[in-house]
């Protein structure tokens, strides 16, 4: 007799439900520790067939830790699970665990690929750097706004030029300087931390042949290439290159019911950060790149016909397809290849 387990994971406690032969045989709670959970499951469900939980902040840790304990773990799409869990009359952790166990038993779920720890470390590096860049920009804008109130307009400039301009304007403004200079020091410290993380990112990309391969694409820099490699991991994870565009959320959503059938906006599902980076790379190709290629010619023609935003989205989707095909074949970007060659 096989048992099916549903786990509703939270930071402190995890609700557990165990089903067998179409009936719930046990449910309870356990501390959110993979080792304790594994021991409890082995005791309550010695013939576990599936252990199911949703995607969430702890899903990577839980998946790899429970897999190491020898349990048949499956991580499922939270959006897909929500449609089934919302059918319960009351929203509780115990009921969610029951619902997940039921999904595990009937096999009605969408399994998601859980990234390895190495890929998550790279993703964390990219995310941390991006967050510090946002913080640096926010602080510099705050400094400009505060000084403008007192008639001190900071000229355009970034980096050391910005710092020098601020200090020059604050000369003779002792009271204001006591407020602004601590913010400027925080801005400077964040700038140094960004430089440290950037060096780590460049070093990581330099050691990875796949990242060096992807940077041969116009508009694709170290950050975009590294994020793409970390997200895709193995090209074999996708049945074809065109599937990557949909996976990143760059394909349009379709609504069809009776006489109504139309396409809407892009789905925006998947990796938000990677989607933004691909869009930025597309914008660079459309606005700043001078490299002649069939891909850029195609994108510029699309821009003339549909406008910048729609052309950039289409180009970002095409970049995802091409970059996956490059990882699969190991070939450098071919400027003379047509945009429809990657499949």
For the chain, what's the residue count? Answer: 343
User: How, if at all, do strands 23-31 and 48-54 pair?
Assistant: unpaired
How confident is the model at residue 252, as a pLDDT?
Answer: 78
Q: Are 188 and 174 in contact (CB under 8 A)?
A: no
How confident is the model at residue 260, as a pLDDT? 65
Instruction: Give the C-alpha distances (Å, rounded to integers) separating 240 from 42, 50, 308.
Output: 39, 28, 28
Q: Are strands 73-76 and 48-54 parallel, antiparallel or unpaired?
A: parallel
User: What is the domain partition of the chain in residue ranges?
Assistant: 3-106, 117-207, 211-329
Contacts 24+ apart (CB under 8 A), 104-108: 104/4, 104/5, 104/6, 104/19, 104/49, 104/50, 104/51, 104/52, 104/74, 105/4, 105/19, 105/22, 105/50, 108/84
d(CA 208, CA 229): 9
The owner of tokens 């990796």 is 271
CATH number assigned to the domain with residue range 3-106, chosen from the 4 options 3.40.50.2020, 3.20.20.70, 2.40.50.700, 3.30.420.40: 3.30.420.40
Sheet strand arrangement including 3-9? 23-31, 13-20, 3-9, 48-54, 73-76
Contacts of 71 (CB under 8 A, 6+ apart): 38, 41, 48, 51
pLDDT of residue 343: 47
Nearest residue to 2 via CA among 45, 66, 53, 52: 45
Q: Report the candidate in 8, 92, 101 with the shortest Cα–Cα distance to residue 58.
A: 8
> Which positions ≥6 away from 254 have C-beta within 8 Å?
261, 262, 263, 264
Residue 164 neighbours by CB under 8 Å, 6+ apart: 157
pLDDT tens track, the chain, 343 positions: 899 999 999 999 999 999 999 999 999 999 999 999 999 999 999 999 999 999 999 999 999 999 999 999 999 988 888 877 887 778 899 999 999 999 999 988 888 889 898 999 999 999 999 999 999 999 999 999 999 999 999 999 888 999 999 999 999 889 999 999 999 999 999 999 999 999 999 999 999 999 999 999 999 999 999 999 999 999 998 888 889 988 888 887 766 666 666 666 778 887 889 999 999 999 999 998 877 889 899 999 999 998 999 999 999 999 999 999 999 999 999 888 766 655 4
């Amino acid at each position: 007799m096989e048992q099916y387990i549903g786990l509703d994971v939270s930071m402190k406690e995890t609700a557990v439900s165990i089903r067998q032969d179409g009936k719930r045989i046990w449910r309870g709670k356990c501390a959110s520790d993979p080792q304790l959970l594994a021991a409890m499951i082995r005791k309550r469900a010695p013939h576990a067939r599936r252990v199911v939980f949703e995607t969430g902040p702890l899903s990577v840790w839980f998946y790899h830790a429970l897999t190491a304990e020898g349990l048949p773990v499956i991580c499922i799409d939270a959006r897909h699970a929500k449609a089934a869990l919302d059918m319960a009359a009351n929203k509780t952790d115990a009921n969610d665990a029951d619902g997940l166990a039921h999904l595990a038993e009937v096999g009605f779920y969408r399994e998601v690929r859980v990234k390895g720890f190495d890929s998550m470390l790279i993703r964390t590096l990219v995310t941390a750097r991006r967050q510090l860049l946002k913080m640096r920009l926010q602080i510099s804008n705050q400094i400009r706004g505060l000084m403008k109130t007192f008639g001190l307009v900071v000229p355009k400039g970034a980096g050391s030029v910005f710092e020098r301009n601020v200090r020059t304007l604050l000369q003779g403004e002792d009271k204001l300087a006591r407020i602004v200079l601590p913010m400027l020091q925080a801005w400077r410290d964040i700038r140094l931390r960004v430089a440290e993380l950037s060096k780590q990112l460049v070093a990581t990309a330099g050691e990875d042949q796949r990242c060096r391969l992807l940077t041969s694409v116009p508009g694709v820099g170290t950050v975009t290439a590294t994020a793409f490699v970390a997200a895709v991991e193995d090209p074999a994870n996708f049945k074809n290159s065109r599937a990557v565009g949909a996976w990143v959320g760059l394909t349009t959503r379709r609504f069809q019911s009776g006489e109504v059938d139309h396409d809407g906006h892009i789905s925006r599902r998947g990796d938000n950060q990677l989607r933004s980076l691909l869009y930025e790379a597309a914008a660079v190709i459309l606005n700043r790149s001078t490299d002649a290629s069939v891909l850029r010619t195609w994108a510029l023609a699309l821009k003339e016909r549909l406008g910048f935003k729609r052309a950039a989205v289409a180009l970002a989707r095409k970049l995802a397809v091409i970059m996956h095909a490059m990882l699969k074949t190991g070939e450098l970007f071919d400027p003379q290849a047509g945009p429809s060659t990657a499949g």
